[in-house]
Amino acid sequence: MSENLAPSTAAGTAAAGTAAPRPVPAPARARREPMFPDGPAPDPAGSHHERRIRSFQPRRSRVTPGQAEALRRLWPTWGLDVDGLRRLDLGELFGDPALPVVLEIGFGMGEATAEMAAADPGTGILACDVHTPGQGNLLGLAEQRGLTNVRVANGDAIILLREMLAPDALAGIRVFFPDPWPKKRHHKRRLIQPEFLALAATRLAPGAVLHCATDWEPYAEQMLEVLSASPDFENTQPDGGYAPRPDFRPLTRFEGQGLDKGHVVHDLMFRRRG
Ligand SMILES: C[S@@+](CC[C@H](N)C(=O)[O-])C[C@H]1O[C@@H](n2cnc3c(N)ncnc32)[C@H](O)[C@@H]1O
């Protein structure tokens, strides 16, 4: 019998008449228990066991009833856990072996992702984030707009790239407004680092573009520095600088917040050498 069946103990104590029954605490929710039985698993690859610096902060954000409903109903069809246990066949995943697929790392609440998917149905977007409310939000937006070219991946994009995507599989990678980790002692958590670029380059097809954008000037400078130094990438800009903002990139939620603070936004578009 489970130790959680504490009421019998309390009842037994009361019956003995020695003390008033003490309130029985609700059984603690297991740390790894999924919030949604058929939805995204918490920490699907168990990455907290890995000795690796992560680029995201595990957050416990409230999931709205609408997001929860979208997760319950739509996750089994459009979602996938980044468990690091299998190699994805992107043609099969998107139901079209000829569809070029772009990986978006860190889509947040997914408004810009849905916008880009609607504007370009000829491209599949594999949208990866660890943020459960955003996953529900994007699923809901995709359904509302009748999008069939978005798949929502739950987990660490590093594991997705390293373990689950084949070499040359991607037609592009988008990293829009990654967490800036402004404190010096946190700079090591920034996603755009030489090791990330080396991994990303192997998963991009030759000639495919890694597109980053940030409103955090020191991070933009770091991005430009490490991308320019990478032997695997070349700048799409002949002057070796930032790219003009492309029309297809909608204003993102974090970008709006940065602009409200007077930040300047930089885009960086680097092509995989091939
Ligand atoms: C600052 S937010 C930007 C969200 C969105 N792109 C925007 O511009 O509104 C960065 C997002 O990246 C996600 N993220 C950071 N590192 C990640 C990783 N390794 N894998 C997946 N998502 C990651 C965070 O959870 C967060 O939602």
Residue at token pair 């007077």: 262
The pLDDT, as a whole number, for residue 49 is 55
Which letter, b or e, does each residue of 4-31 get, where b requires 16 or more Cβ atoms within 10 Å of its Cβ? eeeeeeeeeeeeeeeeeeeeeeeeeeee
Give the pLDDT confidence score for residue 54 in this predicted structure: 85
Summarize pLDDT for 263-273 with one digit per residue, the tens: 999 999 999 99
Instruction: Give the dihedral of Cα atoms 140, 146, 150, 156; nearest 10 deg.
Output: 0
How far apart are alpha carbons 119 and 123 in whole angstroms? 9
Collapsed DSSP state (helix, strand, coil) of residue 124? strand
Residue-wise over 59-95: b if at least 16 C-beta within 10 A, else e? Answer: eeeebeeebbebbbbbbeebbbbbbbeeebebeebbe
In the chain, which stretches have pLDDT less than 70? 1-35, 47-51, 59-60
Expressed in angstroms and rounded, the spacing between residue 90 Cα and the centre of ligand 1 is 22
Cα dihedral sign, 43-47-53-54: negative
C-alpha 267 to ligand 1 mean position (Å): 16
Question: Which atom of ligand 1 lies at the shortest distance from residue 254's CA?
Answer: 9
CA pair distance 70, 104, nearest whole angstrom: 20
Nearest to 53 by CA among 164, 219, 187: 187
Residue 20 is predicted with a pLDDT of 56
For the chain, what is the largest distance between any 2 Cα atoms, rounded to a whole number of angstroms?
Answer: 86
Q: Which 3 state secondary structure label does DSSP give 185?
A: helix
Identify the pLDDT of residue 61.
76
SS3 255: helix
Annotation marks residue 179 as catalytic? yes
99-118 tens-digit pLDDT: 999 999 999 999 999 999 99
Mean pLDDT of the chain: 88
Single-letter code of the amino acid located at 170:
L
Contact yes or no for 131/18 (Cβ under 8 A): no
> How much is the pLDDT for 22?
58
Structure token digits, residue 210: 């890694």
DSSP state of 130: S
For the record, the structure tokens of 226 come out as 């490490």
As annotated, the binding site for S-adenosyl-L-methionine includes 104, 129, 156, 179
Distance 6 CA to ligand 1 centre (A): 41
The CATH fold of domain 36-272:
Rossmann fold (3.40.50)
90: left (phi over 0), alpha (psi -120 to 50) or beta: alpha
Q: Which two tokens stand for residue 7?
A: 């009421």
* Atom number of ligand 1 nearest to Cα 255: 8
